[in-house]
Amino acid sequence: MWIIVAAVIGGLILLIVLITAIPLDLAWRLEIYGKPRLSLRWSWLFGLLSREIKARKRAPGKPRPRTPAKRRFHPKKIAEGIRTALDYLGIKGLMRQIIKLTRSILHSLNIREMQAEFIVGLENPADTFYIFALAEPVNRLLDNFQPYPVNIIPSFIGPVFEGYSTGKVRVYPIMLAPPVVRFIFSLPVLKVFARVISTRWRRKK
C-alpha cells in the first residue's frame, strides 16, 4: 500500500517538475496615454500552445459602469500607501532580501526585449517626492542587472500617470520557485507579515 502511495506521490512530483521545466514565452505591450491599452501574448510548449489577450472593448452605445467612490483613484491614499511602503522598507534586512530576490529573478529570466518609461506625479509635490524616493533605487537596481532602458520618472507639476512598456521574455517557472520561497520565509519578510497582521488587528478593535 505504502509503495503505491509513494509511487503516486513521486509521479506527481516528477510531473510537476517536468511541467515547470518547460519555458513560458511572454510578449506584452502596454500604453497609458489617456485610456490604457494592453496587449499580451503567451506561448507554451515551444509555441504549440499560444494565445493573445487584449483588453475588451465595450459595445457601441453601451453605458460605462460607474465605479464606486471608494475604488476611485485617490492621490491621498496613494501617498499614504507609499509612506507605509517606505516604513516597511526600514525593517532591517528587508531591502537586502528584495535586492537578492530581484537579482535572482532577473538572472533566471531570458529577457529578449524590454523597454519602459512611466511618468508619475501626485497633486501634492511633497507626496510625489515619496515616489521619487522609491523610483530612484528601482531605476538604479534595474540599470545594474539588465541593459534594457526602464525608467520611472516623477513629475512635480500635478497629478499624472502615463507611459509605455513593451517586452519579450522567456520564463522557466522551476527556476523562480527557490528564490521566491527563500524570500517569503526570510526573517525580514516574516516581520513585515507580522506587522501587517498586527496593524489590521488593531484597526478592528
User: Is residue 65 in a domain?
Assistant: no
User: Is residue 8 in a domain?
Assistant: no
pTM of the predicted model, to two decimals? 0.57
User: Is residue 190 in a domain?
Assistant: yes
Written as one letter, the residue type at 38 is: L
Report the distance separating Cα 177 and Cα 180, nearest Å: 5
Q: What is the mean pLDDT of residues 46-74?
A: 60
Looking at per-residue confidence, does 116 or 86 come out higher?
116
User: Is residue 32 in a domain?
Assistant: yes
Q: What is the mean pLDDT of residues 148-162?
A: 79
pLDDT value of position 78: 65
Q: Which domain holds residue 29?
A: 23-52+75-204
What is the per-residue pLDDT across 74-88, written as a single tens digit (0 to 9) for each? 556 666 666 777 777
Q: How many domains does the chain have?
A: 1
Nearest Cα to Cα of residue 85 among 144, 138, 143, 121: 138
Distance, C-alpha 138 to centroid of its chain: 13
pLDDT value of position 74: 58
pLDDT value of position 71: 46
Q: Provide the mean pLDDT of the chain.
A: 78
User: Is residue 5 in a domain?
Assistant: no
User: Is residue 102 in a domain?
Assistant: yes
DSSP 55-91: PPPPPTTPPPPPPPGGGS--HHHHHHHHHHHHHHHTS
